[in-house]
Amino acid sequence: MPYPSIDTPPANGGDVAETPARRPAHHVDNGPRIFKLAYTIKEAMAATGFSRTRIYREIAEGHLDAKKAGKRTFIMGESLARRLQSLPPAEIGKAAKLAALETDNER
């Protein structure tokens, strides 16, 4: 079946803007979230933004639950979520500047 062109109306009769091919790049699907049971090291890096070194350090320090399947290392999804939730809140803008000033004044 050929791909629809811009001039071809959607097969389901719906609005052109609502077809998946027409969604803007910034579209966010707010449907139910499905969490993976386990992530490879690369997937854990992509999901968290942590570096490979940081992922292995988190495993070594016991913050992440890792399992081995042959040569592959898997990080359990619950432990990734739990670790991210345990991180301190971000201090951005004025709050960060005030915190830095308080830290400097305590020295």
Domain-by-domain residue ranges, the chain?
34-87
**CA dist 99 to 31, 92, 103, 104, Å?**
37, 10, 6, 9
**pLDDT the model gives residue 102:** 74
**CA dist 50 to 15, 24, 34, 55, 68, Å?**
40, 28, 21, 6, 20
**pLDDT the model gives residue 105:** 67
Per residue of the chain (107 residues), give pLDDT as tens: 454 545 555 555 555 454 455 555 665 667 776 678 999 999 999 999 999 999 999 999 999 999 999 999 999 999 999 999 999 988 887 766 777 777 766 65
Report the topology of domain 34-87.
Answer: Recoverin; domain 1 (1.10.238)
Phi and psi (nearest 5°) for 76? -70, 135
H or E element: which one contains 39?
Answer: strand 38-40
- Length of the chain in terms of residues written: 107
